Every structure is written in C-alpha cells, then in structure tokens.
Structure 1
Amino acid sequence: MLNKSIWMVGIAWLGSFSCSSGPKIAPDTAAMVNHSEIKSSEVEKVFQNRIKQASQTPAAEEAATLKLNILSQLIMDEILMERASKDNLTASDTEVNAKFTDFKKNYTEEKFQQFLKDQGMTVDDIKKELLKNATIEKLYNKEITSKISVAEAEITNYFSKNRANYNLPERWHVMHVLVTPWPDPQINNTKNDDAKTDEAAREKVQNLLHRILNGEDFAAVARDYSEDSSTAPMGGDLRLLSAEQLDALDPKSPFAKAVLSLKAGETFGNVIVTKYGYHIVKLVEKEAAGQHDLTDPKVQSEIRQAIFARKEALLKAAFLEMARNEATVRNLLAEKILAEPGSSTSTSASK
C-alpha cells in the first residue's frame, strides 16, 4: 500500500511538472499559438496606429471588434511564421536588410525619422514586419504559387464561355497616383505614406509629379506613395477603361479629357483634381474597339491571369484553414469579451 501511495504521489508530481513547463499565460496575454504568446500590448500598438488615422474615435464595441480582427491576423501570422520556420523558409538577415534599404531609399533621414515618429515605430519594428512579410511570401510560393498551373485547354474553355465579353469598345490603359487631402486609415503603399491635410497633399503630389516627369518609374512611385489602397500595390494600374468608365470616375473633373489627350507612354503634365483628391495620370496604351480573339496575346494573358487568380485564392483559403486547424490556439481576448460582455468592450476601448 505504501508503494502504491508513493507511486501516486510521483505521478501527481510529474503531472504538475509537465504543466509548469507548458505555455505561460500572463495578465498581458492576448492569445497563445502553440507555445508562443501574443501580448495584448502588441494588439494595442497596431490598434492605436489604426485609429489615429481615423476621422473619429470608434465606439467601445467597434474598438473591441477591431482589436479582435487585429488579433486574428496576428494569430494567423504567427501560425504561418512557425510553419515557415519548420520548412527553413525564414527570410535571412541579408534579404531583410535589402528590403529595408529599398524601403528607406526615397526618404531623407529627417523624413524617415518623422515617419517613425508618426507611426510610433522603430527601425527594429520595420525590419520585423519586413521579415514577416518576406517569410510568409516564401511560404506561399512554396505551398501555393509553385503548385498552380493553367492549361491551354482551360484558357480555350474560358474564352468560349466568355467570348461576348471580349467584343469591346475603344479602351485606354491608364495608371494613376492618387493623393488624398485627408487622413486615410487604409493606406496600402509600401512607404505607408499619407498626406493628412490639403496643404500636405498638394505639396506631395507636386513633388511626385516632378519626380515622374524627370524620369522616375511611374509604377514604382505609385507603389511607394499612392493613397489609392486598391491600385497602389499594382503600381497604380487602373487597367483598361472605356470612355464611359473614364467619365464615370468623376464627370465634373477633367480626368477623362486629360487621358484622351495623351499619347501612349505619356504622363499628363499637370495634377488633376477630382472628388477623390489629386491625381497624376499616365496613358500606357490605347486599344481599338472590336471583337478580340484568343489569338490576341493580351486576351490569352488576361484569361491566364484570371484563372491563376481563382486557383490561387482557392488554394490560399484552403491552406490557411488547414494551417489554422493544425495549430493549437487559445484566444484569451475573445474569452474575456464573452465572459464579461458588459465591461470588456469598454475596457478594450479605453486602453
């Protein structure tokens, strides 16, 4: 009986030891991902950076929802980073430093320091973000992009089902840089650069126009500085637009007239003002009206890209679900909100 008692005590001691070696949950823990902690302070830092660009302070419930969304993204990022690490895909210091140099190249030291101050970031914060983005991109390339192929039969089948969509009016392939005269909470350019006043916007757009007219690559400038969140990542590409679509952008502005006055490859020499803000516009090419056949390389390329994008979106959604399923996640912020519905939202908003 004594031996059995000693054995039971030993088992209990081992159990307590194994628990003590597991993930530690502290008052500042927002979530646990496998054995890694995401702190509430990390969520709060992103949250504060988001709301300071908003036109008004969010209500308590809105603030709590935003924090949950931020935390959800941080959880997914941590899952992907751990997966990439297991596959030896973590971006190297050399890769990160090269991306940092590219990120910083168009800033003077004074403006770079001001950028850090405005964003509440340090150089290490930026490099950490660049490391994460580069690593996740490598993971996506391995698990998704490299596995996608588009067969000629798929292109032919797509065209046969959508042939009428390629009987097109005259169109203009347009690129633009947009600068808005107000704070934008959804800035998506590589510099995270945002003009917050009309004076700052006019100064910024004139500076960018001068740089473009003096030979800088239009797409690179758009990616770095355009405040159009949907087109900045694509180098400001508005793609092919009909005369009707051009006019619909802002019928009261000279936007369409400016585009129609350009020759292929030209950038309009003045800033164009619309209801959206200040624009710099370039015409890439002009396309004649008529039925476009599958023999047209542009049609083939467009269809290939469309099919590729659909496959990529599907595989990415499935991959993220699989990665999430294989991880052990505990969202303590969500638990707190559900446990204290009357007070958690006000707490999350007041931090």
Structure 2
Amino acid sequence: MNLSKNNLFKITFALFIIAFISTPLGAQEVIDRVVAIVNDDLITLSELREAALSMNPTSTEQIDERTILNQMVEAKLFEQEANRRGITVTKEELDASIEQVRSKYNLTEDQMEEVLKKQNLTPETFREQWRTQTLGNKLLESQLKNRIVVTDDEIKKYYEENYGAIDYTGDYSGITERPKEEVEIAHILISPDTPDAQDRAVEVAELAKSGNDFAILAREYSDDSFTADKGGNLGIFKKGDLIEPLEIAVERTPEGKVSGPVQSPAGYHIIKVLNRTKPSSNSNDEKSENETYISESESEEIRRILHRQKAEVQLQSWLKGIREKAYVEIKL
C-alpha cells in the first residue's frame, strides 16, 4: 500500500510532540525544580513554562500546565524509545527538513527568524524542537506503518457511507477498478528488539511449519500486541495493500501454508495464508456489481482519511504500552 509519511506521521505525532522543549530557560529568573521524572530523565519547571510560553505567547488565557506537562512526558518517552531502538536524525536530515518548512511557507531566513521570535523561540531552540519531532516521526514510521492497511473494500464502504451509493449503471468517466483476489492472512511478529531476533523467528517459523497450531503460537510468541490475541489474524487484503516484502511472501505461499521469516522494518514476520478468494470472472464489456467506480483522487483522499484514523487508534495503544512500562512521576 502507499503510505504518506507527511500526511500521517507528522500529523499524528504533532499531537504529542509539539509542546516538547529540551533547552533550558536560562535568562528568566525562575526558581527551578523538577516537575516530572521520566525513567532517567527530568523535566523542570523552567522547561514547562518555556513550553507553555512558546505554545501561546500572546494569549492572556490561563494555560493548563498539567496538559502541557503530559505532552512533554510523552515526548520524552518517544525520544527514549527512539534512542533505545537506535533511531537517530542526522544533521543533513534535520537541515533538509527545516528547509522544507521554510520553503513550504515561502519564508526567507530573516522572515523565519521573525516568525520564531513571535513564538518566543530562538533558531537554536526551534532546531532542537524540530529534531525531536523528526526523531518521533521516524520512530512512528518504523513501528506503525507495517501495521496499518486500508483495503479497497474499506474505501468503498467509506464512500457509500459518506457520499451515498455508488452508481454502477450510469456512464462514468472515472477509474474502474476490477475485482482482485482477496487473501486472508495471519502473522507472528518477532520484534527486532528481541534478543537473537532472527534466530528466534526461525525457531518459531519451524514450529509453525511443522504443524503446530498457528493461532496458539501467535498468542505465545508474537510481539504484535494488536493481533496476538486474535491468533495473529491480520485480516483480508488485496494485491497492493501490503508492503512489498510481505506481498511477495503472500503471493508465493499456498492457502493453508506458512512462510517466513520475512524481514521488514517492524521485525521478522512468520506468515500463514488462511484463505484465498478468487474474483468472479466477468466479461470486460460488462459492468459487474462488484466493480467500484470511484475516481483515483477520491480513492486516495479516502485512503488518507482512513489511514490517519487507524494510525490514531494504534498510536494511542502503542503509546499506552510504552508508558505502562516506564517509570513516570509527576511532581507538579
């Protein structure tokens, strides 16, 4: 499937990262103290107040510091998780990302500094904020993009629920999508963080291929918390829905058989093809009620909407899991 990193991960991660500031207040006369402990990191009162000021520099309304602090805690957790997984942002990546922001809003360097000044941000502070946000985006992409799939049937259902029934009989100049083979699959994911992850994946794959119940193995061994309790069932997909390594493996695996391990950015997948459904054959000149008449632009827009909705749900669940394993103490 086509994933839009700009449209999804920057949008979703901004909900949690936007308030995070890691540079000290410095010049302001504040009696500093610790307001939160996040594993081995501390968040100070000066950092919290600087974050609040940069978010709403001109408003006289009272800002909820607890809400901002919670966002900062989550940002710390994101950064710690990225560091744990060896995810970094190079100077070149950061320079290019900031340049994209400047170009997007057609700002000169002087104009950019003026905008930052109005937000009580120095170029150095903004650079650090943007580095943290870019780091979070990379982390989210690595963890979520292989778990989020929007199928053609979901696009069709969304269209009918929000725009009315599709006209299957009238003339239509848009995109005609012929039905594709549907494949129901399950997987067992071995996280790259697992000690000797590749060897572990090979062992689990051998267990699955030797006839052990795949669903039981998934519940016992899979690191995918979203599917493990469902016996690893990922759902039904069509060609083009999955990322390339998984798609190739699924195409080559007969119904009822197991393949893998297959490596992806999320880890090692052991895949079982549960069921294949062939599309009904129709004459090329006949319109079938299974054909979907939605323009390409409409289809892509709906795909982005559904992708974002699914990402929000999985992001919240993933972040909750990280926070439950962390030591967090609020002292505000």
TM-score of the aligned structures, taking structure 2 as reference length:
0.47
- Higher Cα radius of gyration: 1
TM-score of the aligned structures, taking structure 1 as reference length:
0.45
